[in-house]
Amino acid sequence: MSGGLALDLLLAASLLWSGWRAVATQDPYRSVVYFIVFGLLMTLAWARLEAPDIALAEAAIGAGLTGALLLDAIDALRSRRRTK
Amino acid sequence: MRAVAVILSAAAFAGIVIAQLLRLSTPVVDLPALVGERIPVSGVAHPVTAVLLNFRGYDTLLEIGVLLLAAVIVLAARGDEPAMNPAALPSAEPPIQMFARATTGPMIVVAVYLLWAGAYQPGGAFQAGAVLAAMAVLLYLAGVTGNWAKPGMALRAGLTGGFLLFLGVAASLLIRGVLLQYPVEHAGQLILLIEAGLTVSLGLILASLFLFLAADPPR
Protein backbone atom coordinates (compact mmCIF):
# COMPACT_ATOMS: atom_id res chain seq x y z
CA MET A 1 0.00 0.00 0.00
CA SER A 2 1.46 3.32 -1.03
CA GLY A 3 1.93 6.20 1.39
CA GLY A 4 -0.43 8.36 -0.65
CA LEU A 5 -3.31 5.94 -0.29
CA ALA A 6 -2.64 5.57 3.44
CA LEU A 7 -2.74 9.36 3.82
CA ASP A 8 -5.99 9.56 1.84
CA LEU A 9 -7.63 6.90 3.98
CA LEU A 10 -6.44 8.63 7.15
CA LEU A 11 -7.78 11.95 5.83
CA ALA A 12 -11.15 10.45 4.97
CA ALA A 13 -11.41 8.82 8.41
CA SER A 14 -10.43 12.02 10.24
CA LEU A 15 -12.90 14.02 8.14
CA LEU A 16 -15.74 11.70 9.10
CA TRP A 17 -14.62 11.73 12.74
CA SER A 18 -14.28 15.52 13.04
CA GLY A 19 -17.53 16.08 11.14
CA TRP A 20 -19.33 13.72 13.49
CA ARG A 21 -17.77 15.31 16.57
CA ALA A 22 -18.72 18.80 15.33
CA VAL A 23 -22.42 17.94 15.24
CA ALA A 24 -22.52 15.51 18.18
CA THR A 25 -20.56 17.45 20.80
CA GLN A 26 -22.73 19.09 23.47
CA ASP A 27 -20.46 22.04 24.27
CA PRO A 28 -20.81 24.67 21.48
CA TYR A 29 -17.23 25.87 21.92
CA ARG A 30 -15.80 22.38 21.36
CA SER A 31 -18.18 21.91 18.49
CA VAL A 32 -16.79 25.00 16.75
CA VAL A 33 -13.22 23.85 17.34
CA TYR A 34 -14.09 20.52 15.70
CA PHE A 35 -15.68 22.46 12.84
CA ILE A 36 -12.44 24.39 12.31
CA VAL A 37 -10.46 21.14 12.43
CA PHE A 38 -12.87 19.73 9.85
CA GLY A 39 -12.28 22.77 7.63
CA LEU A 40 -8.51 22.42 7.83
CA LEU A 41 -8.69 18.68 7.06
CA MET A 42 -11.00 19.51 4.14
CA THR A 43 -8.32 21.90 2.88
CA LEU A 44 -5.83 19.02 2.89
CA ALA A 45 -8.37 16.83 1.11
CA TRP A 46 -8.85 19.43 -1.65
CA ALA A 47 -5.09 19.74 -1.95
CA ARG A 48 -4.82 15.94 -2.30
CA LEU A 49 -7.50 16.07 -5.00
CA GLU A 50 -5.26 18.55 -6.85
CA ALA A 51 -7.74 21.41 -6.49
CA PRO A 52 -5.54 24.11 -4.96
CA ASP A 53 -8.04 26.85 -5.85
CA ILE A 54 -10.74 25.30 -3.71
CA ALA A 55 -8.20 24.45 -1.00
CA LEU A 56 -7.22 28.13 -0.72
CA ALA A 57 -10.85 29.25 -0.53
CA GLU A 58 -11.72 26.53 1.99
CA ALA A 59 -8.84 27.45 4.29
CA ALA A 60 -9.59 31.18 4.20
CA ILE A 61 -13.40 31.17 4.20
CA GLY A 62 -14.45 27.74 5.49
CA ALA A 63 -12.04 27.31 8.37
CA GLY A 64 -10.80 30.86 8.99
CA LEU A 65 -13.66 33.33 8.59
CA THR A 66 -16.54 31.01 9.43
CA GLY A 67 -14.66 29.65 12.45
CA ALA A 68 -13.94 33.14 13.76
CA LEU A 69 -17.57 34.15 13.14
CA LEU A 70 -18.89 31.12 15.04
CA LEU A 71 -16.49 31.70 17.96
CA ASP A 72 -17.64 35.31 18.11
CA ALA A 73 -21.27 34.18 18.05
CA ILE A 74 -20.65 31.88 21.04
CA ASP A 75 -19.02 34.75 22.87
CA ALA A 76 -22.01 37.00 22.15
CA LEU A 77 -24.48 34.33 23.27
CA ARG A 78 -22.60 33.79 26.52
CA SER A 79 -22.33 37.46 27.42
CA ARG A 80 -26.01 37.98 26.59
CA ARG A 81 -26.96 35.08 28.85
CA ARG A 82 -24.84 36.54 31.63
CA THR A 83 -26.50 39.96 31.51
CA LYS A 84 -30.02 38.49 31.58
CA MET B 1 -28.57 -0.19 21.14
CA ARG B 2 -28.55 3.42 19.95
CA ALA B 3 -24.94 3.12 18.84
CA VAL B 4 -25.78 0.00 16.81
CA ALA B 5 -28.65 1.84 15.12
CA VAL B 6 -26.38 4.79 14.28
CA ILE B 7 -23.66 2.54 12.86
CA LEU B 8 -26.18 0.51 10.84
CA SER B 9 -27.83 3.59 9.35
CA ALA B 10 -24.44 5.17 8.60
CA ALA B 11 -23.35 1.96 6.85
CA ALA B 12 -26.61 1.84 4.88
CA PHE B 13 -26.21 5.49 3.87
CA ALA B 14 -22.59 4.92 2.81
CA GLY B 15 -23.69 1.88 0.79
CA ILE B 16 -26.38 3.87 -1.03
CA VAL B 17 -23.98 6.74 -1.78
CA ILE B 18 -21.31 4.38 -3.15
CA ALA B 19 -23.90 2.47 -5.22
CA GLN B 20 -25.17 5.73 -6.71
CA LEU B 21 -21.63 6.96 -7.41
CA LEU B 22 -20.86 3.75 -9.28
CA ARG B 23 -24.01 4.19 -11.37
CA LEU B 24 -23.06 7.66 -12.60
CA SER B 25 -22.67 7.69 -16.35
CA THR B 26 -19.49 8.95 -17.91
CA PRO B 27 -19.73 12.57 -19.13
CA VAL B 28 -20.58 12.97 -22.80
CA VAL B 29 -18.55 16.17 -23.22
CA ASP B 30 -14.91 16.22 -22.19
CA LEU B 31 -14.98 19.63 -20.49
CA PRO B 32 -11.32 19.81 -19.36
CA ALA B 33 -10.15 19.20 -22.93
CA LEU B 34 -12.63 21.77 -24.26
CA VAL B 35 -11.41 24.38 -21.76
CA GLY B 36 -7.76 23.58 -22.53
CA GLU B 37 -8.45 24.10 -26.22
CA ARG B 38 -9.95 27.57 -25.65
CA ILE B 39 -7.39 28.84 -23.10
CA PRO B 40 -5.58 30.97 -25.74
CA VAL B 41 -8.71 33.09 -26.39
CA SER B 42 -9.59 33.51 -22.69
CA GLY B 43 -6.96 36.15 -21.88
CA VAL B 44 -5.54 34.19 -18.92
CA ALA B 45 -3.38 31.07 -18.65
CA HIS B 46 -4.99 29.35 -15.65
CA PRO B 47 -8.00 27.18 -16.58
CA VAL B 48 -9.93 27.83 -13.33
CA THR B 49 -9.70 31.61 -13.75
CA ALA B 50 -10.58 31.25 -17.42
CA VAL B 51 -13.77 29.35 -16.53
CA LEU B 52 -14.73 31.59 -13.60
CA LEU B 53 -14.24 34.96 -15.29
CA ASN B 54 -14.55 34.28 -18.97
CA PHE B 55 -16.36 31.11 -20.04
CA ARG B 56 -18.78 31.16 -17.09
CA GLY B 57 -18.45 34.82 -16.13
CA TYR B 58 -22.23 35.09 -15.86
CA ASP B 59 -22.25 32.68 -12.90
CA THR B 60 -19.53 34.64 -11.13
CA LEU B 61 -21.44 37.88 -11.69
CA LEU B 62 -24.52 36.40 -10.03
CA GLU B 63 -22.39 34.97 -7.19
CA ILE B 64 -21.11 38.43 -6.32
CA GLY B 65 -24.70 39.63 -6.36
CA VAL B 66 -25.67 36.91 -3.88
CA LEU B 67 -22.78 37.82 -1.54
CA LEU B 68 -23.71 41.50 -1.75
CA LEU B 69 -27.29 40.59 -0.87
CA ALA B 70 -26.02 38.66 2.16
CA ALA B 71 -24.11 41.72 3.35
CA VAL B 72 -27.23 43.89 2.90
CA ILE B 73 -29.29 41.42 4.94
CA VAL B 74 -26.65 41.42 7.69
CA LEU B 75 -26.96 45.21 7.76
CA ALA B 76 -30.73 44.92 8.01
CA ALA B 77 -30.44 42.37 10.82
CA ARG B 78 -28.08 44.63 12.69
CA GLY B 79 -30.56 47.47 12.95
CA ASP B 80 -29.59 50.87 14.26
CA GLU B 81 -27.16 49.94 17.00
CA PRO B 82 -24.20 52.29 17.15
CA ALA B 83 -20.67 51.01 16.82
CA MET B 84 -18.94 50.17 20.03
CA ASN B 85 -16.53 52.67 21.40
CA PRO B 86 -13.01 51.42 20.59
CA ALA B 87 -12.01 52.44 24.12
CA ALA B 88 -14.53 49.92 25.48
CA LEU B 89 -12.92 47.04 23.56
CA PRO B 90 -11.39 44.34 25.67
CA SER B 91 -7.79 45.41 25.35
CA ALA B 92 -5.68 42.62 23.94
CA GLU B 93 -2.15 41.96 25.06
CA PRO B 94 0.32 44.43 23.51
CA PRO B 95 2.29 41.65 21.75
CA ILE B 96 -0.92 40.45 20.06
CA GLN B 97 -1.75 43.97 18.95
CA MET B 98 1.77 44.43 17.66
CA PHE B 99 1.56 41.12 15.78
CA ALA B 100 -1.77 42.08 14.23
CA ARG B 101 -0.39 45.45 13.11
CA ALA B 102 2.79 43.84 11.77
CA THR B 103 0.86 41.29 9.66
CA THR B 104 -1.27 43.95 7.95
CA GLY B 105 1.35 44.90 5.39
CA PRO B 106 2.35 41.36 4.39
CA MET B 107 -1.33 40.34 4.15
CA ILE B 108 -2.05 43.16 1.70
CA VAL B 109 0.98 42.08 -0.33
CA VAL B 110 -0.23 38.46 -0.29
CA ALA B 111 -3.71 39.55 -1.42
CA VAL B 112 -2.32 41.56 -4.34
CA TYR B 113 -0.02 38.66 -5.25
CA LEU B 114 -2.91 36.17 -5.21
CA LEU B 115 -4.92 38.52 -7.42
CA TRP B 116 -2.07 38.86 -9.90
CA ALA B 117 -1.09 35.18 -9.80
CA GLY B 118 -4.68 34.16 -10.54
CA ALA B 119 -3.99 34.72 -14.23
CA TYR B 120 -1.58 31.79 -14.48
CA GLN B 121 -1.80 29.69 -11.30
CA PRO B 122 -4.23 29.00 -8.43
CA GLY B 123 -5.38 32.24 -6.87
CA GLY B 124 -7.68 35.03 -7.93
CA ALA B 125 -10.21 37.49 -6.61
CA PHE B 126 -11.99 35.20 -4.15
CA GLN B 127 -8.86 34.07 -2.38
CA ALA B 128 -7.36 37.56 -2.36
CA GLY B 129 -10.60 39.00 -0.98
CA ALA B 130 -10.68 36.35 1.74
CA VAL B 131 -7.15 37.31 2.79
CA LEU B 132 -8.19 40.98 3.03
CA ALA B 133 -11.25 40.02 5.07
CA ALA B 134 -9.12 37.86 7.38
CA MET B 135 -6.86 40.87 7.90
CA ALA B 136 -9.80 43.06 8.95
CA VAL B 137 -11.11 40.37 11.32
CA LEU B 138 -7.65 39.88 12.82
CA LEU B 139 -7.33 43.61 13.49
CA TYR B 140 -10.74 43.61 15.18
CA LEU B 141 -10.01 40.52 17.30
CA ALA B 142 -6.68 41.96 18.42
CA GLY B 143 -8.49 45.11 19.57
CA VAL B 144 -6.77 47.43 17.10
CA THR B 145 -9.98 48.49 15.34
CA GLY B 146 -13.60 48.51 16.50
CA ASN B 147 -16.57 46.87 14.79
CA TRP B 148 -18.38 48.67 12.02
CA ALA B 149 -21.34 50.95 12.46
CA LYS B 150 -23.73 52.12 9.76
CA PRO B 151 -21.74 52.16 6.54
CA GLY B 152 -20.72 55.58 5.27
CA MET B 153 -20.54 56.47 1.60
CA ALA B 154 -17.01 55.09 1.21
CA LEU B 155 -17.92 51.70 2.66
CA ARG B 156 -21.13 51.52 0.61
CA ALA B 157 -19.15 52.31 -2.54
CA GLY B 158 -16.57 49.66 -1.60
CA LEU B 159 -19.18 46.97 -0.91
CA THR B 160 -21.04 47.48 -4.18
CA GLY B 161 -18.12 48.65 -6.35
CA GLY B 162 -16.97 45.22 -7.51
CA PHE B 163 -20.45 44.12 -8.50
CA LEU B 164 -21.21 47.40 -10.27
CA LEU B 165 -17.87 47.31 -12.10
CA PHE B 166 -18.51 43.73 -13.24
CA LEU B 167 -22.06 44.65 -14.25
CA GLY B 168 -20.79 47.75 -16.06
CA VAL B 169 -18.27 45.74 -18.09
CA ALA B 170 -20.92 43.12 -18.86
CA ALA B 171 -23.40 45.77 -19.97
CA SER B 172 -20.90 47.69 -22.08
CA LEU B 173 -20.00 44.45 -23.86
CA LEU B 174 -23.65 44.22 -24.87
CA ILE B 175 -22.87 46.91 -27.44
CA ARG B 176 -20.73 44.34 -29.21
CA GLY B 177 -23.62 41.93 -29.16
CA VAL B 178 -23.18 39.32 -26.44
CA LEU B 179 -23.20 39.71 -22.64
CA LEU B 180 -19.75 39.10 -21.12
CA GLN B 181 -18.04 38.04 -24.34
CA TYR B 182 -14.72 39.82 -24.02
CA PRO B 183 -12.86 40.91 -27.15
CA VAL B 184 -9.92 38.51 -27.37
CA GLU B 185 -7.23 41.19 -27.49
CA HIS B 186 -8.46 42.92 -24.30
CA ALA B 187 -9.70 39.90 -22.37
CA GLY B 188 -6.67 39.75 -20.06
CA GLN B 189 -6.89 43.41 -19.03
CA LEU B 190 -10.66 43.29 -18.57
CA ILE B 191 -10.40 40.20 -16.37
CA LEU B 192 -7.68 41.81 -14.25
CA LEU B 193 -9.77 44.99 -13.91
CA ILE B 194 -12.86 43.04 -12.85
CA GLU B 195 -10.86 40.88 -10.46
CA ALA B 196 -9.23 43.91 -8.83
CA GLY B 197 -12.67 45.40 -8.19
CA LEU B 198 -13.99 42.07 -6.96
CA THR B 199 -11.06 41.64 -4.56
CA VAL B 200 -11.78 44.92 -2.77
CA SER B 201 -15.54 44.32 -2.67
CA LEU B 202 -15.25 40.68 -1.63
CA GLY B 203 -12.82 41.58 1.15
CA LEU B 204 -15.22 44.22 2.45
CA ILE B 205 -18.31 42.00 2.07
CA LEU B 206 -16.72 39.03 3.84
CA ALA B 207 -15.34 41.29 6.56
CA SER B 208 -18.71 43.01 6.93
CA LEU B 209 -20.42 39.67 7.58
CA PHE B 210 -18.18 39.53 10.64
CA LEU B 211 -17.69 43.13 11.67
CA PHE B 212 -21.29 44.34 11.45
CA LEU B 213 -22.44 41.47 13.63
CA ALA B 214 -19.38 41.33 15.88
CA ALA B 215 -20.09 40.97 19.58
CA ASP B 216 -21.97 43.96 20.89
CA PRO B 217 -20.49 45.72 23.86
CA PRO B 218 -21.88 44.34 27.12
CA ARG B 219 -25.02 46.28 27.98
What's the CA gap between B70 and B46, in Å, rounded? 29
Four-residue CA torsion sign, B203, B205, B211, B214: negative
Whether B217 maps to a domain, the answer reads: no
In total, how many domains does chain B have? 1
In total, how many domains does chain A have? 1
Whether B218 maps to a domain, the answer reads: no
Domain hosting residue B54, numbered range: 2-211
Give one word for A55, left, alpha or beta, with left for phi > 0 and alpha for psi -120 to 50.
alpha
Mutate which: B127, B135, B148, vs A, most A CBs within 10 A: B127
pLDDT in tens, B87-115: 555 566 788 888 889 999 999 999 999 99
Q: How far away is chain A from the Cα of B213, in angstroms, using its nearest Cα? A: 9
Contacts of B59 (CB under 8 A, 6+ apart): B52
Whether B86 maps to a domain, the answer reads: yes
Whether B53 maps to a domain, the answer reads: yes
Q: By the 8 A CB rule, do B180 and B57 touch?
A: yes
**Alpha carbon B35 to chain centroid distance?**
23
Contacts of B139 (CB under 8 A, 6+ apart): B100, B101, B104, B145
Mutate which: A61, A70, A71, A77, vs B, most B CBs within 10 A: A61
Q: Which chain A residues touch B if contact means CB-CB below 8 Å?
A: 52-53, 55-57, 60-61, 64-65, 68-69, 72-73, 75-76, 79, 83
pTM for this entry: 0.79
Whether B112 maps to a domain, the answer reads: yes
ipTM: 0.74
Whether B172 maps to a domain, the answer reads: yes
What residues of chain B lie within 8 A of the CB of A72, using their CB?
210, 213-215
Whether B206 maps to a domain, the answer reads: yes
Produce one character per residue of B192-213: b if its CB has 16 or more CB atoms within 10 Å, e if not.
bebbbbbbbbbbbbbbbbbbbb
Domain hosting residue A45, numbered range: 3-83
Mean pLDDT of B31-54: 83
Confidence of residue B186 (pLDDT cuts 50, 70, 90): confident
**Nearest Cβ partner for A65 among B130, B213, B218:** B130
What residues of chain B lie within 8 A of the CB of A56, using their CB?
114, 122-123, 127, 130
What residues of chain B lie within 8 A of the CB of A67, using their CB?
none
Residue A50 has pLDDT above 70, yes or no: yes
What's the CA gap between A43 and A23, in Å, rounded? 19
What's the CA gap between B73 and A28, in Å, rounded? 25
